Chain A
């Protein structure tokens, strides 16, 4: 048995034990959806970080920096600054006025059924697309990391899917939270160790490290040797649309993070708004530290392993594991691989629980059954079934799509939908007295439709591939893109806001305006807020 496999199994055993422990402790709706609201500030902060730093961050950003230098680091910056929106605008009012999902805040003074139905649709869209991206990535990665053990893509996808279903169905929010905490601790220790090894390689001389980064040599696709300064911008975002794409990406990150359902539900697991605030600051400390270290991971891989070697051994996503192999040998490679695996598992578990909470709480109970459970515990039963369905569906889609398809655009889509559909209606319902149900419906619809439509005609879907690109790696539509940017945010976010404002201006809703005072008082004082359940 290989070292990698042993470490994977070790992690699985630990998380299954946590799930068993959590299953024994929790009963009731609040326990399943919100861990009884007894998660402490630092715990939730670490869990938010664990929920957020996906394989796209760990492997993806290290890879982009290793291949495209400084421009990759631009992602790291946006990923942290985005938390200021969460901290200043969303986290505390959400905790004070909501219960289990983001739709709780919207439905507070607006007509619950249409608003919840659309918010649930948007949540499911974000979660499913994000999850498919993670599953395809997970399958490809695990198959690559464990190829000596003979585990293929399909087995890997099914393994990840089954584990995430087990965490969510048996352990609920408590188990999911602890899986995320374990993962975040593993990820941070792996990253610190790897960064220290990179620095040790340069004898702890930062000057020497950055000098090496300015002369990175590799062979371009035509076989020519090039030397480039990786600290300089412009390797990824090129004229004529590069700058606009950067701004568009920034918009999606800054406004999308505060609309990601799996991040928002985390703030319901703490006892009060103050703890929610403290947990965002914890998360910012961890996430910021991690993203600064992506400098060492990415540039270290570019200078120590080299682009050519990474390209020959699995491509961009393998940058961090290959760096670990070069600096720390097989055992460290196995450890970093296990960290990557843990990362994916924690994120998909978080997505699964937010999707199933939203379906059960918003759609099944509120929309289909007018806010009444027909029998006790029905909402949790529905959520458990939904978790199974969502899990099996995303496994099936990931297997059909296959390991070679470019799914990176699904992550961009998730952020774009969150920023264009969710955030405008959350902000307007909290801060605009006049906001109406029609405004929320229009905002959610325009945000959702415009971001999906723009992605469909963006270069992620429409590109003329050279004949050398074959099979699933080819773009779906072989013609010039109608929309020049990879990230639709710069158009779809204003559209989402515009839709919400226009819809509101079409008519007045006295009932919603009358209840604004109540929402304002609740959101800002915590009066009448959901409490932690007594032990």
Chain B
């Protein structure tokens, strides 16, 4: 963990370890009560975690704000689009059934084709997001590299 001998954890090092359970479990486990030494990452309180990253400083960085802006520029319009496209179906089916009953190909009508197009829309949007997210991942990775820390530490 590399966190021993710092701040508050110093005192717990000195208390005798009365918990004899072998600490074999994964580091994501909850720390047994009374065990000395570093806590697993999720156990730390906000104060103890300040050394992981100075969150406010990271949040104020130019490259972090660019990442958030890029994500929002994709996610917000994409969400609005799919919500509008999806609700067009029940609204048209509910309020304009005559239009939706128009046959387009053989016996197949507009209502069925519109419903099918929703599947294509969902898959298409998911594939598009997957590509865009690759860009976001790269931006996040650059940020973490710039911070000089390995991810998750």
The interface of chain A, by Cβ under 8 A from chain B, is 27-31, 34, 36-37, 70, 73-74, 76-78, 80-81, 83-85, 87-89, 99, 207, 210-211, 213-214, 231-234, 237, 242-244, 246-247, 249-250, 254, 274, 277-278, 280-281, 284-285, 288, 291-292, 365, 372-377, 379, 515, 517-518, 520-522, 524-531, 533-534
Contacts of B123 in A (CB 8 A): 284-285, 288
A77 in contact with B28 (CB, 8 Å): no
Given known contacts A31-B26, A88-B78, A243-B91, is B122 in contact with A288 (CB within 8 Å)? yes
Interface membership of B90, Cβ < 8 A: yes
* B126 adjacent to A521 (CB under 8 Å): no
Q: If the complex has contacts A231-B109, A379-B30, A526-B151, are A246 and B140 also in contact, measured as CB distance less than 8 A?
A: no
Partner of B122, one of A28, A31, A80, A214: A80
Asked if B26 contacts A73 (CB within 8 A), the reply is no
Mask, B62-96, CB within 8 Å of A = 1, is 00100110010001001100110011011101110
Closest residue of chain B to A241 (Cβ to Cβ) is: B94
Q: Can you list 5 A-B pairs with a CB-CB distance of less than 8 A? A: A88-B79, A88-B129, A243-B95, A277-B129, A527-B52
Asked if B27 contacts A533 (CB within 8 A), the reply is yes
- Which residues of A lie under 8 Å from residue B106 when comparing CB positions? 207, 210-211
- In angstroms, Cα B130 to Cα A81, docked, is 16
| B93 touching A233, Cβ below 8 Å | yes
Which residues of chain A are within 8 angstroms of B153 by Cβ–Cβ distance? 528
| Chain A positions within 8 Å of B38 at CB level | none
Are A375 and B33 in contact, CB atoms less than 8 angstroms apart? yes
B151, closest chain A residue (CB): A526
Report the nearest A residue to B58, measured CB to CB. Answer: A521
Give the residue name and chain of the A residue nearest to B76 (CB): A88
**Residues of A with C-beta under 8 A to B101:** 232-233
- B89: contacting residue among A74, A99, A529, CB under 8 A: A74
> A378's closest neighbor in chain B, by CB?
B30
Interface SS majority for chain A: helix
List A contacts of B97 (CB < 8 A).
232-234
On whether the beta carbons of A77 and B115 are closer than 8 Å, the reply is yes
Q: Are B152 and A531 in contact (CB under 8 A)?
A: yes
Q: With an 8 A cutoff between CB atoms, is B1 at the interface?
A: no
Closest 7 CB pairs of A and B: A243-B94, A533-B26, A28-B25, A518-B55, A517-B59, A246-B90, A376-B32
Question: Which range holds the interface residue count of chain B?
Answer: 35 or more
A74 lies within 8 A of B90 (CB)? yes
A89 engages B75 (CB within 8 Å): yes
The chain B residue with its CB closest to the CB of A533 is: B26
Contact B28 A81 (CB under 8 A): no
Chain A residue nearest to B59 in the complex (CB): A517
- Taking CB atoms, residues of chain A closer than 8 Å to B152 are 526-529, 531
A131 → chain B closest CB, angstroms: 27
Q: Which residues of B contact A376 (CB under 8 A)?
A: 19, 21, 30, 32-33
Residue contact A29 to B111, C-beta cutoff 8 Å:
no
CB pair B59 A520 closer than 8 Å: yes
Contacts of A89 in B (CB 8 A): 75, 79
Contacting residues, chain B, for A78 (C-beta < 8 A): 86
Given contacts A37-B28, A274-B137, 20 further A-B contacts (CB under 8 A): A27-B25, A70-B112, A81-B86, A88-B79, A88-B129, A210-B107, A213-B107, A232-B101, A246-B90, A246-B93, A247-B94, A249-B90, A250-B86, A250-B90, A277-B130, A281-B127, A284-B123, A373-B33, A518-B56, A528-B52
Name the A residues within 8 Å of B49 (CB-CB). Answer: 528
A214 to B153 Cα, complex, angstroms: 61
Q: A49 CB to closest chain B CB, in angstroms?
A: 14
Q: A527 and B94 in contact (CB under 8 A), knowing A27-B25, A84-B82? A: no
A233–B111 touching, CB < 8 Å = yes
Q: How far is the CA of A285 from the CA of B123 in the complex (A)?
A: 7
* Residue ID in chain B nearest A271 by CB atoms: B152
Determine the distance from Cα of A211 to Cα of B26 in the docked complex, in whole angstroms: 60
Expressed in whole angstroms, the minimum distance between the Cβ of A288 and any Cβ of chain B is 5
**B122 CB contacts on chain A under 8 angstroms:** 80-81, 83-84, 284, 288
In the complex, A518→B143 CA distance in Å?
A: 15
Judge whether B29 and A372 touch: CB under 8 Å. Answer: no
CB-CB contacts below 8 Å: B1-36 with A = 19, 21, 24-30, 32-33
Within 8 A of A (CB), among B108-143: 108-109, 111-112, 115-116, 118-119, 121-123, 125-127, 129-130, 133, 137, 140, 143
Q: Is A246 within 8 A of B94, CB to CB? A: yes
Q: Is the CB of B126 within 8 A of A87?
A: yes
Tell whether, in the assembled complex, residue A30 and residue B26 are in contact, meaning their CB atoms are under 8 Å apart: yes
Pick the contact of B46: A278, A518, A531 (CB < 8 A). A518
Q: Are B108 and A210 in contact (CB under 8 A)?
A: yes
